[in-house]
Amino acid sequence: MTREQVEAAAMGLQATTKVVQWGGSDVYKVGGKVFAICGLRGGLSFKVSEIGFVALTEGGPARQAPYLHKGSWVIVDLDGAPDEDMADWLTNAHALIAAKLTKVARRELGLA
């Protein structure tokens, strides 16, 4: 998956915003909270569940994301997995972060 494809997939998710920060990385947010970072060390970093973290890092294509040691974040090389998997991971990361927003914030963003 290219950075442009990551952007298309991430921006296709409801209420997503993008900023460029941390040395030119594309940072995708929902409700002001980060759910994915593209470009950090040449890969795609994203939030996962605890089970997802184990599945993706133990024998899977991911490793623990640098600088994001808390909260189950992984990084995958952009060419390290099928595009469909990466799109699914972005969708799941978005959902995990959106679920942590307040009910009011979710409602205002059209996520409730």
Which pLDDT does position 101 carry in this prediction?
98
> Please, what sign has the CA dihedral across residues 34, 50, 2, 100?
negative
Per DSSP, what are the bridge partners of residue 74? 46, 64
**DSSP strands (E only) in the chain:** 16-21, 25-30, 33-38, 43-47, 63-64, 73-77
d(CA 7, CA 30): 14
SS3 (DSSP) at 47: strand
Q: Which residues of the chain have pLDDT under 70?
A: none
Query: Structure pTM?
Result: 0.94
Q: How far apart are CA 37 and CA 23, in angstroms?
A: 11
Domain ranges of the chain: 3-108
Q: How far is CA 112 from the centre of its chain?
A: 20
Average pLDDT, the chain: 94
What is the predicted pLDDT for the residue at 22?
Answer: 86
* Overall CATH class of domain 3-108: alpha beta
